[in-house]
C-alpha cells in the first residue's frame, strides 16, 4: 500500500459553503481546492492569481494556481513526471515516497460520480492520486469536489490495462506532475502576509485594460458564430468564456471576504462587484443559451454594461488600494 489512507472531507473552508453561483470552476482549480483541503491547508490563501484574468481574443484566461504560489505558501514543490515506464509503475513509485501525482485523464476513464458524464461524454479532467494499492487494484484520488476511489475494472481502465488498451509501457499522451511536500510551517499571521504579498504581485501584473471591454469588442463576431453553429457548440463556448469569467470573480470575491475576516482593510463594495460579475456572467450564459435555441440573437448589451462597470469597480480599485498598503 502506498500513500496515506485517511479519507478526506469535501470542500475547502470558505470555498464550498453557502450557495455559490458557479458550483465548479475548472478541473485544475476544483482539484487543487480539494487537494489542499485534504492536506489540511487553506485553499483560499492561493486565490490572489484571480486578479490576472484577461481576455485572450477567443476565451477568458483559465484560472490556474501558479506552482510558484503553491511553493511560496505551502512548500509544495511541483515538477513534471517523466514517463518512460508504465503509468501505473510511475504512480506507484511516487506515492510510495509520499508524493501526489496530478494528471490529466479522459473523464470516461473514471468511475461514476454524481453529476459527471461517466462513460458518456469525453472531457479532459484532472485528478490527484495520493494512495495506491497495486496488489488490490485500488487507488485513491482527489477529483472535482471530493475524494474518490477506483478499483478492479475502473483501476485497470484508468491505467490503460483494460481490453483493447494500447501498450501500457507507452503513455505518450499522458501529462502528469509530481507534488512533493516539503516542510513549510506558516503561522496564521505569516500565511496571511505571504498571501497578501502574492496579491500585490498579481495586481501589479494585471491586464492593462479592462478585459470585459476587450471581450465586448469581440462578442458580435462570437455571437454570429454561435448562432450559425447552434446548440452543439454552445456548451464548450460557455465553459471557456462565461464560466471562466464568472467563476473566477466569484473566487476573487471569496478571497476578499477572507481578507476582511482576517482583519484586513478592503475597499468597500469590491467584493460585491465581484459577486455581481459572477451572477451577471450566469445571466448572460442563460440568455445566450435561449438565443441559440430560439435562433433569435441577443446582443446582451445590458449584461456587458454590468460586467464592464463591475470590473472597473473592483480590480483597478484593489490595485490602487493595495499598491499603497504594506500591512
Q: Could you give the CA distance from residue 263 to residue 28 in angstroms, rounded to a whole number?
A: 30
Q: How many CA atoms within 13 Å lie on the side-chain side of 181? A: 17
Q: So what's the pLDDT on residue 165?
A: 53
Instruction: State the average pLDDT over residues 250-260.
Output: 97
Distance of CA 307 to the CA centre of its chain: 21
Mean pLDDT of the chain: 88
Q: Could you give the CA distance from residue 22 to residue 114 in angstroms, rounded to a whole number?
A: 16
Who has greater pLDDT, 17 or 35? 35
Instruction: State the average pLDDT over residues 221-233.
Output: 92
Closest CA to 127 of 144, 112, 113, 139: 144
Closest CA to 73 of 47, 98, 100: 47
Q: Which residues of 40-79 are buried (b: 16+ CB within 10 A; e: fewer)?
A: ebbbbbbbbbbbbbebeeebbbbbebbeebbebbbebebe
Q: So what's the pLDDT on residue 105?
A: 86
Q: Which residues of 170-205 are buried (b: 16+ CB within 10 A; e: fewer)?
A: ebeeeebbbbeeeeeebeeeebbebbbebbbbbbee
For 125, counting Cβ atoms within 10 Å of its Cβ (0-12 exposed, 13-18 middle, 19+ buried), the class is buried
Q: So what's the pLDDT on residue 81?
A: 94
- Residue 318 near residue 226, CB atoms below 8 Å: no
Q: E-assigned strands of 144-230?
A: 146-151, 176-181
- Residue 131 near residue 34, CB atoms below 8 Å: no
pLDDT per residue as tens digits for the range 18-33:
788 998 889 899 999 9
Instruction: State the average pLDDT over residues 214-236.
Output: 93
Question: Is residue 123 very low, low, confident or very high in pLDDT (cuts 50, 70, 90)?
Answer: confident
Residue 140 confidence (pLDDT) above 90: yes
Q: Which residue in the block uniquely carries the three cell numbers 484532472? A: 126
pLDDT per residue as tens digits for the range 78-116:
999 998 888 999 999 999 999 999 998 887 778 865 444
pLDDT per residue as tens digits for the range 288-308:
999 999 999 999 999 999 999
pLDDT per residue as tens digits for the range 55-88:
999 999 999 999 999 999 999 999 999 988 889 9
Residue 127 confidence (pLDDT) above 60: yes
- Predicted model pTM: 0.89
Instruction: State the average pLDDT over residues 271-291.
Output: 97
Amino acid at each position: 500500500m502506498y500513500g496515506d489512507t485517511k479519507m478526506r472531507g469535501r470542500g475547502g473552508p470558505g470555498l464550498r459553503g453557502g450557495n455559490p453561483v458557479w458550483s465548479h470552476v475548472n478541473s485544475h482549480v476544483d482539484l487543487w481546492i480539494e487537494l489542499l483541503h485534504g492536506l489540511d491547508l487553506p485553499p483560499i490563501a492561493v486565490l490572489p492569481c484571480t486578479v490576472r484574468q484577461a481576455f485572450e481574443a477567443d476565451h477568458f484566461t483559465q484560472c490556474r494556481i501558479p506552482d510558484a504560489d503553491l511553493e511560496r505558501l505551502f512548500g509544495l514543490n511541483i515538477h513534471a513526471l517523466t514517463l518512460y515506464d508504465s503509468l501505473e509503475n510511475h504512480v506507484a513509485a511516487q506515492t510510495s515516497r509520499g508524493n501526489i501525482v496530478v494528471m490529466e485523464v479522459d473523464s470516461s476513464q473514471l468511475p461514476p460520480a454524481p453529476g459527471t458524464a461517466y462513460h458518456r461524454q469525453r472531457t479532459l479532467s484532472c485528478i490527484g492520486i495520493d494512495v495506491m494499492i497495486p496488489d488490490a487494484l485500488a487507488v485513491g484520488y482527489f477529483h472535482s469536489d471530493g475524494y474518490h476511489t477506483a478499483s478492479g475494472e475502473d483501476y485497470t481502465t484508468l491505467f490503460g490495462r483494460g481490453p483493447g488498451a494500447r501498450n501500457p509501457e507507452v503513455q505518450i499522451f499522458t501529462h502528469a506532475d509530481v507534488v512533493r511536500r516539503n516542510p513549510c510551517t506558516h503561522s496564521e499571521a505569516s500565511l496571511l502576509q505571504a498571501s497578501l504579498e502574492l496579491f500585490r504581485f498579481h495586481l501589479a501584473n494585471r491586464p492593462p485594460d479592462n478585459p470585459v471591454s476587450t471581450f465586448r469588442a469581440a462578442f458580435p463576431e462570437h455571437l454570429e458564430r454561435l448562432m450559425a453553429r447552434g446548440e452543439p457548440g454552445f456548451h464548450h463556448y460557455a465553459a471557456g468564456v462565461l464560466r471562466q469569467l464568472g467563476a473566477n470573480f466569484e473566487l476573487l470575491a471569496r478571497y476578499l471576504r477572507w481578507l476582511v475576516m482576517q482583519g484586513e482593510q478592503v475597499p468597500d463594495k469590491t467584493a460585491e462587484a465581484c459577486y455581481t460579475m459572477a451572477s451577471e456572467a450566469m445571466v448572460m450564459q442563460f440568455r445566450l443559451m435561449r438565443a441559440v435555441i430560439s435562433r433569435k440573437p441577443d446582443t446582451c448589451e445590458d449584461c456587458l454594461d454590468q460586467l464592464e462597470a463591475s470590473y472597473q469597480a473592483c480590480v483597478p480599485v484593489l490595485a490602487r488600494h493595495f499598491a499603497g498598503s504594506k500591512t
